[in-house]
Structure 1
Amino acid sequence: MSDFPENARTAAQAIRGLFPETPLQRNDHLSARYGAEIWLKREDLTPVRSYKLRGAFNAMRKVRAKDPGQGHFVCASAGNHAQGVAFACRHFGVRGTIFMPVTTPQQKIDKTRIFGGEAVKIQLTGDYFDQTLAAAQEFCRAEGAHFLAPFDDADVIEGQASVAVEIIDQLGRAPDLVVLPVGGGGLAAGVTGYLREVAPQVRFRFVEPLGGASLRTALEQGGPVKLPRLNSFVDGAAVARIGELPFRRLDWARPEEVHLAPEDRICITMLEMLNVEGIVLEPAGALSVDVLPELAEEIRGKTVVCVTSGGNFDFERLPEVKERAQRFAGLKKYFILRMPQRPGALREFLSMLGPEDDISRFEYLKKSARNFGSVLIGIETKHAENFAAFTGRMDAADFTYRDITHDEALAEFLI
């Protein structure tokens, strides 16, 4: 056995000086649905509502042990890592300079400032993260500060492994399966690194957002590669290239063990956890729960731990989350309709709506057309099968229409 499990346990003990263990909670709702023992490791309940505090704290602790004179730490982040670094800086009484893109939402800036207090200075620079990262690293070299990477750092990985230490201690035994979200790979590398040595019988499943499959791609290609496109909706796990160090600790995994969660489906999970369980999860924090339907057959009768990695959700995004969820569930659709410019045409169209259908948007796109006008129309319904009947009635009446619900380019431009 390597030194990693002992180092992870030491990190977990040190973290107790910062905050208590996050809860490991059996979820009755999910357990009943899947016929399994489903436990949630609530990393959304750390002081910064994310596991990122663990890695930042452990890395800072170890750097200061080796170099007590180092009193300045730098990071580049627009999210949970920034808040973790800020909190750790205040705890250790050291200076922190946190670089964030100019486009960072004010809520995240304010929370980072609150966690860091007077210990932290925030620098807004760059429209894109790559520009922000370059500025942070250049500043770090010039100032002689220590750069704290969000996941590509051995001490950060070791700190994230404290999640696994707590799982075993709290459960009192090893679970059958652990489901882990993956972004840069630090959490997955730490948790699997610990459990594969102390409880080798544990199996793992990993979950990435569909638009950020950096681990799956790396496993298929034989090493980390930069994704050509990235969907940033799951901002806590949307990473274009998995970290080198995390990948070295995860290269044993098989591509089929990495599940890809559609961004809109994640929204359904977020709303269900909020409405049914009263649990607020950010998109990345919902990944491990979102994949459970795909695992239903193999987890029946098993003990499963899902790591809910974060709960930093801005409720101003709730309308977008609801919209995405409805579209994925087939309860909301958008059409471009060619509406005849004659008396009674609108009344005729409205008569095609069923008793459970409701117009949520109606907008003329070409107001000067003589014979036909193009209309963007959004319709909500209570049951997805209602749309087949609705479009059937439009076909019978010879209305010309186009469903643009899943046309990414048109939907982004028009909706």
Structure 2
Amino acid sequence: MTEVTEAGVSKAGVDEAKAAMREIFPETPLQMNEHLSRRYGADIWLKREDLSPVRSYKIRGAFNFFRKAIAAGAKDRTFVCASAGNHAQGFAFVCRHFEVPGVVFMPVTTPQQKIDKTRMFGGKFITIRLIGDIFDQCYAAARKHVEETGGMMVPPFDDRDIIEGQATVAAEIVDQLPEGVIPDLVILPVGGGGLSSGTTGYLKDVVAPENFIFTEPEGAPSLKKSLLAGEPITLAKLDNFVDGAAVARIGDLNFAALKTFSADQVMLMPENAICVTITEMLNVEGVVLEPAGALSITVLEALGREKLAGKTVVCVVSGGNFDFERLPDVKERAMRYAGVKKYFILRLPQRPGALRDFLNLLGPDDDIARFEYLKKSARNFGSILIGIETANPENFAGLVERFETAGLGYEDITENEILANLVI
């Protein structure tokens, strides 16, 4: 009898999918990263799914779904998906490979860059329909289209064939690690759960359950909340910054595969900490990562050298579809998280020389990045929004002390989310 993993897929099935997948792309590399390994005194391996043809692992599940559906006689049906990101691009690539028609539903608000890339991958075999302002409206339109036309919906994660396809990541890791090397930790990003459920199922006889670490963005803790509740739950509020992992509800099949893990194994990463990883990997390693793709590497800093030293760690880097128009925002968030940029509202007297007196309070490594007059709060005083960058976070302690010694009215709004969103 074929062994079946908790995700409902067999290892033999995953290996078969892996072999079939070679007709469209070679295995993505598993690379020892010297920079990270030196920092943490560990062997840090990165599984580079950002180097797939569509720059994410999503092509794997899509290929496996199509392969099996076509073998079962669905060649003449129209395939349908709803996505504004990596799933759409993988779907489009596979439609062109199998030369089958596909319809991609995307929200009207989808960035043009993502629309263009999806169209490029699919070519003449796909049609893109922009419907709704949010994903839920787009998804509902896709479902209605399937019902009315008899099309075949290709889900992003909650499907056994999709899970089996994503599990080929794990099968490749086993093949690529040096002989006799077993990971002490495997760090997996989680969105809908297809990658994590497939990977843990395939590796269950290789890696002990307690040696898996799952990571989600703080603003989308679907798996963690579901594990705490003991059942899949739908998040009432979602931060979409980490768009590749911001899922309101983990898949039912995926949760069934992951429900035996502890909620303590799910580490939530602040969105701004993820930005630090993106900028560092770009500046130091020349590696372009999307926010979801940076999740597993961000966990390393949270664990720290003390917990990682001497270990063999595999981080699955899930994708690199990064829109460089987001880079200024990512840099801003990274600097604020690192503590080298702060925003203050100052109450300056309206008299000659007041600004010069303030400038004299700045240290040699302090730089004004933003200066904006807001309004007068009284006849003799004015409110100023000022952004200050410095070389070292400790410099701000001295600056604030000089503010207070000078009797300068100020408020640090860097971490005041409501106020910062209004004026920054």
- TM-score normalised by the shorter chain: which range applies? over 0.9
Post-superposition CA distance 1:229-288 (Å, at most 9, x none): 111111100111111111000001101111010000111111111111111110100111
User: Letter of the aligned partner of 1:34 in structure 2?
Assistant: Y
Task: Check if 1:206 corresponds to 2:232.
Answer: no
Match of 2:118 in 1: 112
CA distance in 1, matches of 2:240, 2:10: 33
Match of 1:164 in 2: 170
CA distance in 2, matches of 1:368, 1:184: 49
Please identify, of 3-12 and 97-106, the stretch whose mean Cα deviation from structure 2 is larger. 3-12
Is the CA contact (8 Å cut-off) linking 2:182 and 2:206 kept in structure 1? Answer: no
Is the CA contact (8 Å cut-off) linking 1:176 and 1:201 kept in structure 2? Answer: no
Q: Which of 218, 229, 236 is equivalent to 1:221?
A: 229
Q: Which of 9, 18, 31 is equivalent to 2:24?
A: 18
Task: Check if 1:251 corresponds to 2:259.
Answer: yes
| 3-state secondary structure, aligned to 1:375 | strand
Match of 1:295 in 2: 303
State the 1:66 CA deviation: 1.3
Gapped runs of 5+ residues in structure 1?
A: none
Task: Check if 1:9 corresponds to 2:15.
Answer: yes
- Map of 1:134-153 to 2, 5 A cutoff? 134-153=140-159
Is the CA contact (8 Å cut-off) linking 2:209 and 2:261 kept in structure 1? Answer: no
TM-score, length of structure 1 as denominator length: 0.98
Task: Check if 1:266 corresponds to 2:248.
Answer: no
User: Letter of the aligned partner of 2:370 in structure 1?
Assistant: R
Q: Which of 174, 177, 200 is equivalent to 2:182?
A: 174
Match of 1:130 in 2: 136
State the 1:163 CA deviation: 0.3
Q: Which of 388, 406, 413 is equivalent to 1:404?
A: 413
> Percent same amino acid among aligned pairs?
63
CA distance in 2, matches of 1:354, 1:298: 37
Post-superposition CA distance 1:198-230 (Å, at most 9, x none): 555782111100111100000000111111211
Match of 1:276 in 2: 284
- Map of 1:4-403 to 2, 5 A cutoff? 4-171=10-177, 172=179, 173-197=181-205, 200=208, 203-296=211-304, 297-366=306-375, 370-403=379-412
CA distance in 2, matches of 1:248, 1:368: 57
Is the CA contact (8 Å cut-off) linking 1:9 and 1:162 kept in structure 2? Answer: yes
CA distance in 2, matches of 1:317, 1:392: 35
CA distance in 2, matches of 1:280, 1:369: 49
Post-superposition CA distance 1:336-355 (Å, at most 9, x none): 11111111111111111111
State the 1:370 CA deviation: 2.4
Post-superposition CA distance 1:348-405 (Å, at most 9, x none): 1111111111111111111595211111111110011111111111111111111110
User: Letter of the aligned partner of 1:269 in structure 2?
Assistant: T
Name the count of aligned residue pairs.
415
| 3-state secondary structure, aligned to 2:54 | coil
Is the CA contact (8 Å cut-off) linking 2:377 and 2:383 kept in structure 1? Answer: no
CA distance in 2, matches of 1:96, 1:23: 30
CA distance in 2, matches of 1:273, 1:72: 40
